Amino acid sequence: MALIFSYIKKHIVTFILAVAFLVVEAVTDIFQPALMSHIVDDGVTRQDTGAIIYYGVIMLIIAGIGAASAVIRNIFSTRHAQAVAKDMRRDIYKKTQSLSLENIDKISPASIITRITNDVSQVQDFVTGFTRIIFKAPITTISAIVMIVTQTPWLVPTMLIVIAISVFIMFLNIRIGYPKFARMQAKIDKLNHVAREYLTGVRVVKAFNASKNEEARFDRASDSLKNAGISAMRTMAVFGPLINLTVNVSIVVLLWLAHAQGGEHIGRTMASINYMTQMLFSLNIISGIFNRAIRALASSERIGEILHEEPAQKMPDRPLTPDIRGEVVFENVSFAYPGSDKNALENISFSCKPGQTIGIIGPTGSGKSTLTYLIPRFYDAGVGRVSVDGADVTLTDTNILRSRVGTAAQKALLFTGTIRDNLLWGNPDATDEEINTALKIADGLSIIESCDGGLDAVIGQGGVNLSGGQKQRLSLARTLLKKPKILILDDCTSALDATTEARVLAALREYSKDITVLLISQRISTVRRADKILCLDNGVVQGFDTHKNLLAGCGEYKAIYESQIGG
């Protein structure tokens, strides 16, 4: 709740304005019935058209004022609730962007999406309702209490009992309702997750004729969301009527007492019943907003979870800002993925000088990509030290570091937008000439030529309308536009045919004369020209030397060589 109120406070001015106009609106509401009775009593009953018109005009003026303030109140309260929601969404998103991959893996993308949209709108619903009742509920409650205390003091004990029971019921409501709503939101996460998987894997689903499978999975997720929803709704359905029953039973008790006293204080009884009814009215309003509050509470807790998430990577207080030229040093580095007890990298040590090209080769799952993740700090080494140009990467300004390290990965992920938009990720200020140069190296000019609209051709999410090789070449060009000092090529030509690949690699060799290149590949032919080759197996360095020396001294490397050249 504190979280919600901190956001309400941020827009306190609109909030106060909304409440102020709400007061005007409420006051005019109070006048209206009185004026109506004047029209009836003084006008119609006496058949006095003048009086009707007199009171009628007053009533219309007041109603007009009321309507105007209602419209204005609505403007402010809508703005307020929208502003709160907008800020929340923005803060969650910003926070997410500042988290490390480890945090995001932990929370899961589907859940982050649910929180930004669904959870925020739960809170927004509550805030909207809250602005509307903040005035009404206290007024009706206080006036009911004041009336009871002053007019019917003998009712105070009954009132206290009723209030105590109601508070107890509301307390129970939180205890029981809160976890149910939290569970419901978690089920929405799950639903989003299944939907997202289907959308990502739609080709495979169709190829394996497995729509039924996906329908069943989605069915299960919706069904358990439905059940969680029903269970939450059921709980909510109990408490309102229960409070009603409490007040109503107290009315019966009052009648019973009046009867036991022999009907002496019938006037008192009638007044009591009136006030109890008024109290019931205000308790109803409160319990109504209470239900929303519980749901909002569950959602704000989930929002808070992200906002308070500690980034898994600490940013240095006074970051080093080395002039990055491309020297990379690994010293006794070991690393295990979060949640895994097996080291993906084991005691890795090697170094390379600016301008060198280091080939990295090794079997599937041997830790080749993982090794490169540590350089731009996607993950931090558990043991040992990774440094770039003498500065420990964990002590270096991450922005500077990442702006100097370019990765072209095998899975070429492009985003919805034009090809140009995607390429400009590398360098937002790149000129068309620079773009052309990068495309030329990546052998991407022909792609642009073949696309309607050239650079401004629109591609769908993930670049669906491009072939695997086209995506890889575009993503390589995107990386080159960054003009990195350390270029990591993670098997990024795997979908290219041999001729194109040879061309791209030759162009890259020319391009990378002055920069450091880490070249991951399965193929000896790709890495053999590297200055040095790091041969990995199972996260352990098997050899780090030139092609020639490895062939002579490294059994694993020799085995790979023979499997390829022999074939």
Partner 1 sequence: MAASNLAAGAANIPGKHPGGGRRHGQPVQKPRDMKGTLSRLFQVLKGDRKGLVLILIFAVLSSASGIFSPLIIGQAISAISNGNAVLTFIFVLLGIYVGYFLVNLLQGIISGIFSQRVTYRIRVGLFRIMTGLPLKFFDTKQHGELMSRLTNDVDNISSTIADSLSQLLSSLFSMIGILIVMIRLSLPLTLVALIGTAAIVIFTRLVTKVTRPLFVKQQKDLGLLNGQVEETISGIFIVKSFSREKAVTQDFEKLNENLSKTATEAQTKSGIIMPVANVINNVSFVAISVLSATLAVQGMLSVGLITSFLLYIRQFSRPFVEISNIYNNFQTAIAGAERIFEILDTTPEPADKPDALPVKAPKGDITFTDVEFGYNPEKMILKGINLHVPAGTKVAVVGPTGAGKTTLINLLTRFYDVNAGSVTLDGHDLRDYRLADLRKAFGVVLQDTVLFAESVRYNIAYGNEGATIEDIKKAARIAGADSFIERMTDGYDTVLSQSGAELSHGERQLLTIARAVLSNAPIMILDEATSSVDTLTEKKIQNALLSVTEGRTSLIIAHRLSTIRDADLIIVIADGRIVEQGTHDELVALGGRYAAMHEAHVGE
Per-residue DSSP letter, 364: T
User: Looking at beta carbons only, is 392 or 397 nearer to partner 1?
Assistant: 397
Measuring CA to CA, which residue among 68, 65, 62, 70 is closest to residue 31?
62
Nearer to partner 1 by C-beta: 219 or 514?
219
Q: Which is nearer to partner 1, 86 or 331 (CB)?
A: 86
The answer to whether 537 touches 367, Cβ cutoff 8 Å, is no
Please tell me what DSSP assigns to residue 343.
-
d(CA 158, CA 160): 5
Could you tell me the smallest distance in angstroms from the CB atom of residue 5 to partner 1?
20
CB of 427 to partner 1, least distance (A): 9
Token output for 307: 């906002």
Among residues 389, 158, 392, 195, which one has the least CA distance to residue 280? 158
What the block records as the tokens of 431 is: 């000129």
Taking CA atoms, 393 is separated from 102, 327, 376, 441, in Å, by: 17, 12, 8, 29
**435, 437, 443, 448: CA torsion to nearest 10:** 40
* DSSP structure string for 70-101: HHHHHHHHHHHHHHHHHHHHHHHHHHHHHS-H
Is the CB of residue 536 less than 8 Å from the CB of residue 368? yes
Q: What's the DSSP call for residue 396?
A: B
CB distance 557 to 550 below 8 Å: yes
* Shortest reach from residue 7's CB to partner 1, in Å: 13
Question: Nearer to partner 1 by C-beta: 327 or 443?
Answer: 443
Comparison of 217 and 331: residue with beta carbon closer to partner 1: 217
Nearer to partner 1, 391 or 539 (CB): 539
Q: Are 496 and 473 in contact (CB under 8 A)?
A: yes
* Cβ proximity to partner 1, 331 vs 334, nearer residue: 334
Output the smallest distance, CB 541 to partner 1, in A. Answer: 16
- The nearer residue to partner 1, 356 or 369, going by C-beta atoms, is 369
